[in-house]
Structure 1
Amino acid sequence: MKSIPKQPHILASYFRVGQLLHWSLILFILESWFYWTMFEGALEKNSLLVIAFWMSCFLFSFVHIFLVIMDGWSRFQNYKRAKDLFFDHGFNTKVAEMYTGSKCQRNAAIVAADELGYKDEILSFYKKKGVKWYHYMPYFMSQDPWFLFRNYFWERTFLEKTYTPKYNFHSMSIEHAL
């Protein structure tokens, strides 16, 4: 059996993988609450234009709550798959390349690599690829302006299939420590 570092609890990994998304979730919840209160205030004044404006803002924020939750779940599936692949093959640039597309996907791969002791390698790989810390927008958004109408966007961003890990890394790290 391969030697692996002590593994964090799966919930800790889940929150590390989606850290940016979880902060966004809090922001969208607060925005939705704010926009709803503004909408309620506009209802009392009966101004149709103002009512429509605040309702649009509320709906935008409210829908994003669910999109962020789905994105976080999808990134967690990426993390589990990447961790299995890094465990099977060691640090592999082909695996890291699979998760280059967006900040959240890269973070999933970085957390997976870090938990297996490959953090320096993956950070070095992304640096050589020209990825900067401020590259938040997924690259495909600038390459394909019609991305919203493409299946790959919806499947890869929000509808990633559930991945069942091949290994129980937590029990493997405990066995190795004994």
Structure 2
Amino acid sequence: MNFLELPSQPHPAVSYLRVGRLLYWSLILFLLESWFYWGQFQASLQQFSLFWVALWFSCFLFSFVHIFLVIMDGWSRFQNYKRAKDLFFVHGFNSRIADMYVGSKCQRNAAIVAAEELGYKDEILNYYQSRGIKWFHYLPYFMIHDPLFLFRNYFWERTFLEKVYEPKFDYRSLHLERAI
């Protein structure tokens, strides 16, 4: 893509929120759940019932740990977004690039936001639709194909521990240069 055709670019914080919007809604839910479960746990301590203490503490722990997992997942998806945006910028829309992010709704969303910011939104949406991907395909495909995914390194590395990716271009500066 020629930088003279580059659409207006949002602030990176806006892109970060757009990439992880589904994750951040779930983050709010996990925060509320943790708050609720903590209250139930504290109330159960007053009743001296080991069953209720264990139940509410387990629920709290589950929700509380997910707060950090969602934050890490959002950060990883932002790394996917930056890489996808560089690839789309250099090569234009390419189905092989889109295929790199087909594995989950959050990864697809990262690629869609990157493509949209470069003017390729229709192309990537049409491509994913042609692959049979529906809007309600939230569950990552690897979870269906590999029920033991929690015990695999690829799950932890790809979902929560994506390496930092430094973008090769400053898209906002490129857009501003076009305006001058």
Q: TM-score by structure 1 length?
A: 0.99
Question: Which of 19, 26, 29 pairs up with 2:28?
Answer: 26
CA distance in 2, matches of 1:150, 1:166: 31
| Counterparts of residues 47-58 of structure 1 (less than 5 Å) | 47-58=49-60
CA distance in 1, matches of 2:19, 2:156: 19
Q: Deviations over 1:87-126 (max 9, x none)?
A: 0100000000000000000000000000000000000000
Deviation at 1:177, TM superposition (A): 1.5
Q: Secondary structure at the match of 1:5?
A: coil
Q: Which ranges of 4 or more aligned residues in structure 1 deviate by more than 2 Å?
A: none
CA distance in 1, matches of 2:98, 2:76: 17
Question: Which of 145, 157, 160 pairs up with 1:158?
Answer: 160
Q: Give the number of equivalent residue pairs.
A: 178
CA distance in 1, matches of 2:83, 2:179: 24
Aligned counterpart, 2:83 = 81
Q: Which runs of 5+ in 1 are unaligned?
A: none
Question: Which of 74, 78, 88 pairs up with 1:72?
Answer: 74
CA distance in 1, matches of 2:61, 2:100: 33
CA distance in 2, matches of 1:46, 1:131: 50
Q: In structure 2, what residue type is equivalent to 1:110? A: I
CA distance in 2, matches of 1:137, 1:69: 18
Q: Which runs of 5+ in 2 are unaligned?
A: none
Aligned counterpart, 1:13 = 15
Aligned counterpart, 2:38 = 36
Aligned counterpart, 2:109 = 107
Q: Does 1:143 align with 2:145?
A: yes
Q: TM-score by structure 2 length?
A: 0.98
Q: Deviations over 1:48-76 (max 9, x none)?
A: 00000000000000000000000000000
